[in-house]
């Protein structure tokens, strides 16, 4: 499967978007893994509704956040809210919290480095825990 995986990654890089039918992958913190090309970023909603993003290498070994550039836009019913991130304890943590509500889209724009290609990830914000896999619903890995 390695070759197929490489092809999928190349295709995703070529279009600059996430493969619509790619399998959801969860990270060590049960967050949603975003493929930054050679690096993985794990999107996780904290209890206080801030977003934290942990960085891993391709083999899922934790790395302190370094060159990554992340911004997010919460498309909440109350209006779009831009969210900035700063490094805290080796992770990228949003400086503001997600607006009230559930089920709206959060668009994460991520770059592995400032000169790397921008990648957009659209995440449906559903924070309840999935009974099937035990992850938050936005990082659910169950087969539908
Ligand atoms: Zn699930």
Kindly state the tokens that stand for 144: 């539908």
* Domain assignment of residue 7, yes or no: no
The neighbourhood of ligand 1, an ion, using CB within 5 A, equals 130, 132-133, 140, 142
How many C-beta atoms lie closer than 10 Å to residue 125's C-beta? 21
* Domain assignment of residue 128, yes or no: yes
**CATH code of the domain containing 107:** 2.60.40
- pLDDT, mean of residues 64-83: 97
The confidence score (pLDDT) of residue 143 equals 84
- pLDDT, mean of residues 14-32: 74
* Domain assignment of residue 10, yes or no: no
> In this model, does residue 20 exceed pLDDT 60?
no
User: Containing domain of residue 33, as a range?
Assistant: 27-139
Phi, then psi, of 142 in degrees rounded to 5: -65, 145
Domain count, the chain: 1
Give residue 132 CA to ligand 1 midpoint distance, Å: 4
Residues near 60 by beta carbon (within 8 Å), at least 6 away in sequence: 27, 28, 40
* Domain assignment of residue 99, yes or no: yes
Rounded Cα distance between 52 and 49, Å, is: 9
- pLDDT, mean of residues 99-112: 97
Give the confidence band of 16 by pLDDT, cuts at 50, 70, 90.
very low
Give residue 141 CA to ligand 1 midpoint distance, Å: 5
Antiparallel, parallel or unpaired: β 105-111 and 119-124: antiparallel
Number of residues that this document lists for the chain: 144
């Amino acid at each position: 499967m390695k070759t197929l995986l490489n092809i999928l990654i190349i295709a995703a890089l070529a279009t600059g978007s996430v493969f619509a039918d790619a399998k959801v992958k969860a990270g060590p913190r049960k967050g949603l893994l975003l493929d930054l090309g050679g690096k993985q970023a794990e999107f996780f909603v904290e209890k206080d509704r801030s977003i934290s993003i942990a960085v891993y290498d391709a083999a899922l070994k934790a790395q302190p956040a370094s060159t990554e550039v992340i911004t997010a836009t919460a498309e909440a019913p109350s209006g779009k809210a831009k969210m900035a991130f700063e490094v805290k304890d080796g992770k990228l943590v949003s400086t503001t919290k997600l607006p009230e509500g559930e089920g709206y889209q959060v668009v994460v724009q991520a770059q592995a480095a400032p000169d790397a290609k921008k990648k957009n990830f659209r995440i449906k914000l559903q924070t309840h825990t999935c009974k099937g896999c035990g992850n938050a619903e936005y990082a659910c890995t169950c087969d539908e």
